[in-house]
């Protein structure tokens, strides 16, 4: 027998459940039926001109890009919700999906290296979403995590010349002391591949640390910059 008190409690619970369902729909529902085949092997975009991909004109700092899809609805929306509203369930779902995609396609002796986020941004977003993401990628793929990179906080860039800014950007990431990645195959994990600048810096730092190869795993890729435009 359900007492009167319990009845109200159950009703309140159901109302909260329904509210939560409307406010934060379950990721499986939101991304139901979403499946995109791999794009270009190197840059991850699905946009190909004839047989050639537009990344042909670029020199990428890594061997391969794994991604769930292109940065557009519904995937883009899900990533934004996961990031800006600290929606852990969504990050878990996306991370697991990415892990499953990477799992059977990488050489042995691989490690996952999360791309670090600037501290100030981490403060505003309330969570380190790349850190959360990499945890689930690792769980689904069985690849260990090596937090080999850290972020250097930089001064405000106003009033600097372009060259100075470029220099600061290049030095915005550091290898941690004793990263122990020598001879490993690194897979850099980030949310979205946009211009590729951050990932390129991260990839070069990995090479300084002596990795044998660098691959990239992201949730989504945006379209590449036009031909002739430098990274």
Per CB under 5 A, residues contacting Zn ion are 40, 42-43, 53, 55
In angstroms, what is the minimal distance from the CB of 102 to Zn ion?
Answer: 18
Cβ proximity of 70 and 221 under 8 Å: yes
Question: Is the distance from CB of 60 to CB of 214 less than 8 angstroms?
Answer: no
Q: Which residues pair with 218 in a beta bridge?
A: 67, 190
Look at strands 185-193 and 110-114 and give their pairing.
parallel
Q: How far apart are the first and last CA of the chain?
A: 68
Distance in Å, CB of 13 to Zn ion, minimum: 50
Q: Give the integer Cα–Cα distance in Å for 225 and 162.
A: 19
Minimum CB separation of residue 93 from Zn ion in Å reads 27
CB nearer to Zn ion: pick between 42 and 85: 42
- CB 47 to Zn ion: min, Å: 8
The answer to whether the beta carbons of residues 70 and 193 sit under 8 Å apart is no
Nearer to Zn ion, 60 or 112 (CB): 60
Q: Considering beta carbons, is residue 18 or 72 the nearer one to Zn ion?
A: 72
CA distance 71 to 80: 10
Identify the bridge partners of residue 118 per DSSP, sorted by sequence position: none
Nearer residue to Zn ion within complex by CB, 53 or 102: 53
Q: Kindly report the number of other CB atoms within 10 A of residue 80's CB atom.
A: 15
CB of 67 to Zn ion, least distance (A): 11
At closest approach, how far in Å is the CB of 218 from Zn ion? 14
Q: Which is nearer to Zn ion, 43 or 143 (CB)?
A: 43
User: Would you say 45 or 130 has its CB closer to Zn ion?
Assistant: 45
- Contacts for 32 with CB less than 8 Å, ≥ 6 apart: none
């Amino acid at each position: 027998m359900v007492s009167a008190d319990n009845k109200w409690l159950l009703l309140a619970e159901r109302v909260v459940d329904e509210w939560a369902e409307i406010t934060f729909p379950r990721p499986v529902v939101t991304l139901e039926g979403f499946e995109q085949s791999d794009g270009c092997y190197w840059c991850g975009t699905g946009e190909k001109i004839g047989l050639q991909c537009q990344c042909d004109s670029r020199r990428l700092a890594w061997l391969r890009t794994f991604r769930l899809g292109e940065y557009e609805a519904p995937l883009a929306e899900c990533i934004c919700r996961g990031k800006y509203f600290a929606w852990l369930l969504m990050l878990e779902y996306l991370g697991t999906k990415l892990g499953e995609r990477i799992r059977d396609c990488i050489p042995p002796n691989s490690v996952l290296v999360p791309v670090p986020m600037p501290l100030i941004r981490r403060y505003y977003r309330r969570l380190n979403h790349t850190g959360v993401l990499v945890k689930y990628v690792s769980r689904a793929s069985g690849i260990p995590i090596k937090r080999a990179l850290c972020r250097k906080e930089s001064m405000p860039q106003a009033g600097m010349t372009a060259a100075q800014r470029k220099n600061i950007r290049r030095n915005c990431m550091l290898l941690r002391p004793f990263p122990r990645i020598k001879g490993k195959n690194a897979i850099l994990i980030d949310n979205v591949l946009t211009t590729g600048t951050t990932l390129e810096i991260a990839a070069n730092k990995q090479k300084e640390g002596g990795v044998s190869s660098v691959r990239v795993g992201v949730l989504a890729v945006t379209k590449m910059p036009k031909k002739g435009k430098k990274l």
